[in-house]
Amino acid sequence: MRSHEIAKAKGGRTLIVGDVHGCPDELDELLETVAFAPERDRLVLVGDVVVRGPDSRRALHRAVELEAAIARGNHEQKLLAGHAGTARLGPEHQPVADSLSAADWRTLEAMPLWLDLPEHGVRVLHAGVLPGVDIEDMPKDALLRMRTIDSRGAWSDSRDGGTLWGALYEGPLHVVFGHNARPSPQLHPWATGIDTGCVYGQRLTGMLLQAGEPVPRGEAARAKLVDVPARRAYYKGGNRGH
């Protein structure tokens, strides 16, 4: 697996943003809302920057322009599998794949499965982790797709597959994640879910941390969240987030 510890912000803040899903206008509005300053602030994305929204390529290019650190999401992984010939792409992914340049593919390939921000005590990844399992031993698909854990300890991408994994996770790093789109953020003691369904017509959410600031735990993390409304519902599939 590929991990990546990213450098400290240049004396500024860190903004971690949930699933953009090809919605660059909402991303720009969120950046404007927090007065994001690229010369000193740092942008971190939880993955699924592309697919389902109105302009995946522009969203990806905007992230690159801002030198964002991006964790790989399941939709980036799907595109890469199609590009490698190991998966067949459907009507959601094929048009995006057809629009990507060689440089865009290199951007997707460079996305690690998780990002560590030591000064904040945070690990950023797309979907989830299995409590008590070392990150290096974690199934790749779990990092990209998991939502719940059943009574036997098996993970699932299903919303109804058991308990939300974040409710069972006990650190030591605080995990900030996306994937499981919900109307409100998930605020667990050691994990914060910030996919609030922008592409489904809800909101794009970010976590804004000051330089060196640790993430508050549980409900206290809400004070660090900022969001903007979606301009419209771009995808009619509901909040499945697959």
Domain span holding position 32: 3-229
Whether 215 maps to a domain, the answer reads yes
Q: Which of 51, 65, 64 is nearest to 23 (CA)?
A: 51
- The three-state DSSP-derived secondary structure of the chain is CCEEECCCCCCCCEEEECCCCCCHHHHHHHHHHCCCCCCCCEEEECCCCCCCCCCHHHHHHHHHHCCCEECCCHHHHHHHHHHHCCCCCCCCCHHHHHHCCHHHHHHHHHCCCEEEEHHHCEEEECCCCCCCCCHHHCCHHHHHHCCEECCCCCEECCCCCCEEHHHHCCCCCEEEECCCCCCCCEECCCEEECCCEHHHCCEEEEEEECCCCCCCCHHHHHHHEEEEECCCCCCCCCCCCC
Whether 234 maps to a domain, the answer reads no
pLDDT 10s per residue in the chain (242 long)? Answer: 345 777 666 679 999 999 999 999 999 999 999 999 999 999 999 999 999 999 999 999 999 999 999 999 999 999 999 999 999 999 999 999 999 999 999 999 999 999 999 999 999 999 999 999 999 999 999 999 999 999 999 999 999 999 999 999 999 999 999 999 999 999 999 999 999 999 999 999 999 999 999 999 999 999 999 999 999 999 986 544 45
Whether 189 maps to a domain, the answer reads yes
Bridge partners of 44, per DSSP, are 16, 69
Whether 14 maps to a domain, the answer reads yes
Bridge partners of 107, per DSSP, are none
**CA–CA distance from 166 to each of 56, 95, 136, 184, 192 (Å)?**
29, 34, 18, 14, 8
Whether 242 maps to a domain, the answer reads no
pLDDT at residue number 7: 65
Tokens representing 79? Answer: 């595109």
Computed from CA positions of residues 228, 190, 214, 218, in that sequence, does the dihedral angle turn out positive or negative? positive
Whether 236 maps to a domain, the answer reads no
Domain count of the fold of the chain: 1
In whole angstroms, give the CA distance from residue 33 to residue 76.
27
Computed from CA positions of residues 40, 41, 46, 48, in that sequence, does the dihedral angle turn out positive or negative? negative
Query: Is the bond preceding 172 in cis, omega lying within 30 degrees of 0?
Result: yes
Whether 188 maps to a domain, the answer reads yes
Q: How far is CA 113 from the centre of its chain?
A: 10
Which CATH number is 108's domain given?
3.60.21.10
pLDDT at residue number 36: 98
pLDDT at residue number 241: 44
Whether 178 maps to a domain, the answer reads yes
pLDDT at residue number 1: 39
pLDDT at residue number 238: 53
pLDDT at residue number 11: 73
In whole angstroms, give the CA distance from residue 29 to residue 52.
19
pLDDT at residue number 6: 72
